[in-house]
C-alpha cells in the first residue's frame, strides 16, 4: 500500500576542507544518522556536495582536471551511501557529483538516488550552466528518470534544470508528486533563480519541491570558493498547503537540516479539486497557445 505521508530532510550541506575520505564520510554519515533519528524517510543532499574532496588533491591545477579527479571517487561515495540507505532503511537523493560517461572520455553531472535496500538509479543533469560547459567541460545528459518509491513517483531536476518548465511538466504528467532539486549556487542571484523557478514548478505542477543547497566555502579552490544556499520544502499555493507555499526553510548560509512532513494525498486531491487546476489545464493551454498573428501597432 502506498504511503500517504512521509517525513523528509533537505540539507544545507556545509562545504569544508577535509583531511581524508573518512572525514567526508563522517560528515555524510552524521547527517543521515540525524535525519533517521528524526524519523525521516527521504533525505536530499545538494548538487556537487562532494566538492570538499577536492581538498585532498592539488588545488592549484586547472579546475577541469580537478573535477575529473573528483569523478574517480564515485565508487567509494556510492558504496558509502548505499550502506547508509540500507542501514537506516531510507531513501537518499545523493546530491550530484562528476561521473565518467560510458566511454570514459568525458564527464556528466549525475545524481544517484538510493532506495532503502541500497539499490540505486541515476538522473543526469540535462542542461549545463555556462561554467560547467565552458570551464569544467561537463557534458549534458539525456533522458528523464522516474523513481518509483513507497510514497509514489519522484523525479530529480538538478539546479539549472528546474529553470526549464518542460522538464518538470513531463515528470508531473508521468505522475510525479515529489521533485528533488539538488543545487549548488555561488551567489544570491544564482540561488534566487533556482528558488523562484523551483517554487513556480511546485505551483504549476501541483507537487512538492525539495530544494537542497550547498553552504560554506573552499577558499583554497578559486573556482568553488563561494556558496549561497537556503534549503526549502516548497508546496503548491492553495488552502491545503502551507502559508506562502513554504512548508519549511532554513536560514541562509548556515549548516542546517530542514525537516517537514509531506501529505501526498493532498497532492492527489488538489490535482482533481483544487482552487485552480494548472496541471490538468496545461493540456488545453498547450493546444491553444499556438503562435497567432503578429500585429504591428
Cα diameter, the chain: 67
Given the DSSP bridges, would you call strands 176-183 and 152-156 parallel, antiparallel or unpaired? parallel
R_g (Cα) of the chain, nearest Å: 19
177 is catalytic: no
Q: Active site residue: 40, 47, 163, 249, which one?
A: 47
For residues 66 and 53, what is the distance between their CA atoms, to the nearest angstrom? 10
Place of cell 534544470: 161
255 is catalytic: no
Q: Active site residue: 159, 184, 197, 249, which one?
A: 159
Q: Active site residue: 111, 125, 163, 197, which one?
A: 125
- Torsion sign, CA atoms 109, 235, 9, 195: positive
Measured CA angle at 48 (ends 221, 15), to 5 deg: 55
What is the chain written as a DSSP string?
A: ---SEEEEEEEEEEE---SSHHHHHHHHHHHHHHHHHTT-SEEEEPTTGGGGGGGGS-TTS-HHHHHHHHHTTHHHHHHHHHHHHHHHT-EEEE--EEEE-TTSSSEEEEEEEE-TTS-EEEEE-SS--HIIIIII-EEP------EEETTEEEEE--GGGGG-HHHHHHHHHTTEEEEEEEE--SSHHHHHHHHHHHHHHHHHHT-EEEEEEEEE--TTSGGG-------EEE--SSTTS-GGGEEEE--TTS-EEEEEEEEHHHHHHHHHHSSS-HHHHHHHHHHH---------
47 is catalytic: yes
- Which sequence positions are flagged as catalytic? 47, 125, 159
Amino acid at each position: 500500500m502506498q504511503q500517504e505521508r512521509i517525513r523528509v530532510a533537505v540539507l544545507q550541506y556545509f562545504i569544508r576542507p577535509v583531511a581524508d575520505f573518512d572525514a567526508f564520510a563522517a560528515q555524510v554519515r552524521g547527517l543521515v544518522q540525524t535525519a533517521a533519528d528524526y524519523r525521516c524517510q527521504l533525505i536530499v543532499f545538494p548538487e556537487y556536495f562532494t566538492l570538499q574532496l577536492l581538498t585532498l588533491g592539488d588545488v592549484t591545477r586547472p579546475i577541469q582536471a580537478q573535477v575529473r579527479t573528483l569523478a574517480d571517487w564515485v565508487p567509494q561515495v556510492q558504496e558509502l551511501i548505499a550502506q547508509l540507505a540500507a542501514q537506516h532503511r531510507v531513501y537518499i537523493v545523493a546530491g550530484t557529483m562528476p561521473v565518467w560517461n560510458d566511454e570514459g572520455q568525458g564527464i556528466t553531472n549525475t545524481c544517484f538516488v538510493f532506495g532503502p535496500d541500497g539499490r540505486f538509479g541515476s538522473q543526469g543533469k540535462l542542461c549545463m550552466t555556462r561554467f560547467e560547459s565552458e570551464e569544467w567541460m561537463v557534458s549534458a545528459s539525456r533522458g528523464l528518470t522516474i523513481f518509483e518509491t513507497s510514497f509514489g513517483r519522484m523525479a530529480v531536476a538538478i539546479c539549472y534544470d528546474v529553470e526549464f518548465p518542460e522538464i518538470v511538466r513531463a515528470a508531473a504528467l508521468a505522475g510525479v508528486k515529489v521533485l528533488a532539486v539538488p543545487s549548488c549556487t555561488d551567489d544570491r542571484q544564482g540561488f534566487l533563480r533556482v528558488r523562484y523557478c523551483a517554487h513556480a514548478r511546485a505551483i504549476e505542477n501541483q507537487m512538492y519541491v525539495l530544494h537542497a543547497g550547498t553552504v560554506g566555502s573552499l577558499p583554497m579552490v578559486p573556482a568553488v570558493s563561494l556558496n549561497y544556499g537556503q534549503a526549502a520544502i516548497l508546496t503548491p499555493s492553495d488552502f491545503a498547503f502551507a502559508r506562502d507555499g513554504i512548508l519549511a526553510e532554513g536560514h541562509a548560509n548556515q549548516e542546517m537540516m530542514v525537516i517537514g512532513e509531506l501529505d501526498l494525498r493532498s497532492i492527489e486531491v488538489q490535482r482533481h479539486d483544487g482552487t485552480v487546476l494548472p496541471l490538468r489545464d496545461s493540456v488545453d493551454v498547450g493546444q491553444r497557445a499556438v503562435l497567432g498573428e503578429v500585429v504591428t501597432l
